[in-house]
């Protein structure tokens, strides 16, 4: 199989070929770019391997392209960016190498090697394919041959792509023992590509799963995030569970699994319910502010993953009511920072977004089950703020009944709530709600120091605005404040007093 016509479409490969031939270096594009090329998936990361100095080749290519080259001599690698029109590629160069590992570390001992050595160290057959970039490849006896675009596939990666199988090129026990992160990568690739993991390869993950403990939490979470962002993330989580990896990296999620029955009353399996909610979020098609924004999308999916995380801790059985999980939304919200800290996720606005959605995820559902009051809608608007769309997306995804008509009924109720929220927001502008009467104005009006009484007046005023008793304007709210102060025995300062 030859890919020369395809490679010619990207000028960077022609430049690499020219410089490789000029330096007399056997050179190949290898790994993920080749895999994605065959799968017709977009790829902007190009890995180039040569038999010799990757840094020297990178510097020659950079000079020809008139672009800067970043050199990493400790790793024997170099990188440059190639911009063609509106498209940009990141090209990394490395000399072919051989790797060996120590049992207590996934950091390899690296030596110069042959192309065979370099392909042997690859994680999976579909990532071990290479394409030659030499037009004047030198062979024994001085023969020169044009090999540009020819596929090198020593482990049957092309066949595995057609079979949709993830398989290690060598003994999987050795592959995963050497670098245990490859176990996560196997499941990540299977999830992203909707592939199966070859039985012997999966069995090795089961046998070797304890080795994941030597991998840094940051690297594990990076792979987990890629699984979460895949088209059907539940597939990856089920693989992680059956491989024994999930209990090692995310025990809180495992605690959701299982159904308990007392007196003939059971509850749903909250593990599989959570995965269904996550899939529902991933497959939604309605326009939303998160569409196309991978970073925001990631945190919306984390909210789906954690929305019921505290159900095991709040589970109770009541003879009349059956199983209850009262307060799981508040407890779950309190758990979010600890989970993020353990996972090495950012403790910033993204964490607070997830925490807010976990805390509020029952509120819109409650509104669909009762007579909706403007007061309740105002409170939801104020509490959700700019994250209302994310909250409503989560709540829609949280409907996982197998009864189609029941699901449709709930969705119609959500439509009704959203229309009312939209109308109320248009009228009252509550998304960024701040009472017009501040604590400073209250203290100035009644000559009060900072005190509990000031806080109580602020609270009464806030509730009155949200209940629709008074509008959030100085003309309406200030007389209300004066009257509330009078009820508490407070006298408003006159203009003369203020002077």
> How far apart, in whole angstroms, are the C-alpha atoms of residue 312 and residue 207?
29
Beta bridge partners of 164: none
Q: Which residues contact 9 (CB under 8 A, 6 or more apart)?
A: none
Answer yes or no: CATH 3.30.460.10 is held by domain 4-161.
yes
Q: Which two tokens stand for residue 259?
A: 């159904």
pTM passes above 0.85? no
Q: What is the pLDDT of residue 430?
A: 61
Closest CA to 187 of 256, 253, 238, 248: 238
Q: What does pLDDT average to in each consecutive run of 10 residues of the chain (499 residues)?
A: 85 92 93 94 90 93 92 89 81 82 57 76 92 80 80 95 96 92 97 97 97 95 97 98 97 92 83 95 68 71 96 89 88 97 96 96 77 78 84 88 76 80 69 74 87 85 78 83 86 59
Query: Between vectors from CA 194 to CA 193 and to CA 198, what angle results, nearest 5°?
Result: 100
Instruction: Give the burial string for 82-92 (b: 16+ CB within 10 Å, else e).
Output: beeeeeebebb
What is the CB neighbour count within 10 angstroms for residue 346? 10
Question: What is the per-residue pLDDT for 101?
Answer: 53
Write b or e for each residue in 51-80: b if 16 or more Cβ atoms lie within 10 A of its Cβ, otherwise e.
Answer: bbbbbbbbbbbbeebeeebebeeeebbbbb
In the chain, what are the helix, strand and coil shares in percent, each to the nearest 5?
Answer: 55, 15, 30
Say if domain 254-428 classifies as CATH 1.20.58: no
Integer Cα distance of 170 and 149 in angstroms: 25
Cβ contacts of 332 within 8 Å, gap of 6 or more: 306, 307, 308, 309, 310, 311, 358, 359
* Cα 167 from Cα 190, distance rounded (Å): 10
| CATH code for residues 172-249 | 1.10.110.30
Nearest CA to 361 among 321, 309, 435, 317?
Answer: 309
pLDDT of the residue at 109: 57
Which of 49, 83, 81 is closest to 62 using CA atoms?
Answer: 81
3-state secondary structure (DSSP) of residue 87: strand
Quickly count helices (H) and strands (E) in the chain.
26, 17
Question: Where exactly are the structural domains of the chain?
Answer: 4-161, 172-249, 254-428, 439-498
């Amino acid at each position: 199989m030859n890919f020369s016509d395809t490679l010619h479409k990207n000028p960077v490969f022609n430049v690499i070929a020219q410089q490789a031939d000029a330096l007399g270096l056997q050179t190949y594009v290898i790994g993920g770019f080749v895999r994605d090329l065959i799968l017709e998936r977009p790829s902007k990361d190009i890995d180039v391997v040569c038999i010799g100095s990757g840094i020297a080749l990178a510097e020659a290519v950079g000079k020809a392209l008139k672009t800067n080259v970043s050199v990493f001599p400790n790793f024997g690698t170099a990188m440059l960016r190639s911009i063609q029109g509106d498209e940009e590629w990141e090209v990394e160069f490395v000399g072919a190498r051989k790797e060996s590992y120590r049992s207590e570390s996934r950091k390899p001992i690296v030596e110069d090697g042959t192309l065979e050595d370099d392909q042997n160290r690859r994680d999976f057959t579909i990532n071990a394919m290479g394409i030659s970039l030499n037009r004047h490849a030198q062979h024994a006896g001085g023969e020169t041959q044009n090999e540009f675009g020819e596929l090198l596939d020593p482990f049957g990666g092309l066949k595995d792509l057609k079979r949709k199988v993830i398989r290690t090129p060598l003994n999987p026990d050795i592959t995963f023992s050497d670098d245990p992160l490859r176990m996560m990568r196997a499941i990540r690739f299977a999830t992203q590509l909707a592939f199966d993991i070859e039985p012997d390869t999966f069995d090795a993950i089961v046998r070797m799963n304890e080795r994941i403990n030597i991998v840094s939490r940051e690297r594990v979470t990076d792979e987990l995030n890629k699984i979460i962002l895949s088209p059907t993330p539940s597939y990856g989580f089920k693989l992680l569970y059956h491989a024994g990896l999930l209990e090692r990296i995310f025990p809180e999620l495992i605690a959701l699994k299982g159904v308990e029955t007392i007196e003939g009353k059971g509850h749903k399996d909250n593990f599989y319910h959570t995965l269904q909610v996550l899939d529902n979020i991933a497959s939604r098609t309605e326009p939303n502010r998160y569409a196309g924004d991978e970073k925001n999308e990631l945190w919306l999916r984390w909210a789906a993953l954690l929305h019921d995380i505290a159900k095991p801790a709040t589970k109770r059985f009541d003879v009349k009511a059956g199983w209850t999980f009262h307060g799981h939304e508040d407890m779950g919200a309190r758990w979010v920072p600890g989970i993020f800290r353990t996972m090495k996720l950012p403790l910033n606005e993204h964490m607070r977004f997830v925490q807010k959605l976990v805390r509020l995820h029952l509120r819109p559902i409650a509104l669909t089950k009762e007579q909706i009051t403007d007061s309740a809608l105002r409170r939801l608007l104020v509490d959700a703020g700019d994250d209302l769309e994310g909250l409503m997306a989560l709540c829609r995804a949280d409907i996982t009944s197998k009864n189609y008509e029941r699901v449709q009924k709930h969705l119609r109720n959500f439509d009704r709530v959203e229309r009312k929220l939209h109308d109320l927001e248009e009228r009252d502008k509550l998304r960024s709600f701040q009472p017009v009467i501040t604590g400073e104005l209250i203290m100035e009006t009644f000559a009060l120091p900072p005190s509990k009484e000031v806080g109580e007046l602020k609270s009464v005023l806030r509730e009155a605005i949200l209940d629709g008793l008074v509008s959030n304007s100085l003309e309406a709210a200030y007389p209300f404040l004066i009257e509330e102060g009078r009820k508490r025995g407070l006298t408003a300062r006159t203009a003369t007093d203020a002077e």
